[in-house]
């Protein structure tokens, strides 16, 4: 029996990648590497939610759970951008 695992992914990956790309307009000083770091930091602050199809997860969520996901994403992304910016500033100042 052959199983197709290619459909399985972390629900947050696509959302985080899209949001980092969208918010990158507000951070023109961020390089591509810095944006990738933001995505990594944000994803590491979010729980792993593996799904085959994003709609499967969203269909079964309550409004409260959806709001929780949105808030967790906002918190993780805000932290990621701050964290990477602070580290870049320290490197530039030699600290």
Contact in structure between 38 and 80 (CB atoms under 8 Å) = yes
Beta strand 50-51 pairing with 9-10: antiparallel
Tens of pLDDT, residue by residue, the chain (95 residues)? 667 898 899 999 999 999 999 999 999 999 999 999 999 999 999 999 999 888 878 788 899 999 999 999 999 999 999 999 999 999 888 76
d(CA 58, CA 25) in angstroms, rounded, equals 28
Q: Which pLDDT score, from 0 to 100, does residue 95 have?
A: 64
Q: What is the pLDDT of residue 90?
A: 93
Cβ atoms of residues 20 and 77 within 8 Å: yes
Interatomic CA distance for residues 73 and 56, integer angstroms? 19
């Amino acid at each position: 029996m052959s199983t197709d695992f290619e459909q399985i992914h972390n629900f947050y990956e696509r959302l985080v990648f899209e949001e980092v790309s969208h918010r990158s307009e507000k951070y023109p000083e961020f390089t591509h590497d810095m944006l990738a770091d933001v995505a990594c930091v944000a994803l590491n602050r979010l729980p792993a939610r593996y799904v085959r199809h994003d709609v499967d997860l969203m269909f079964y969520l309550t409004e409260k759970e959806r709001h929780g996901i949105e808030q967790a994403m906002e918190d993780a992304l805000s932290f990621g951008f701050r964290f990477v910016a602070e580290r870049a500033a320290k490197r530039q100042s030699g600290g």
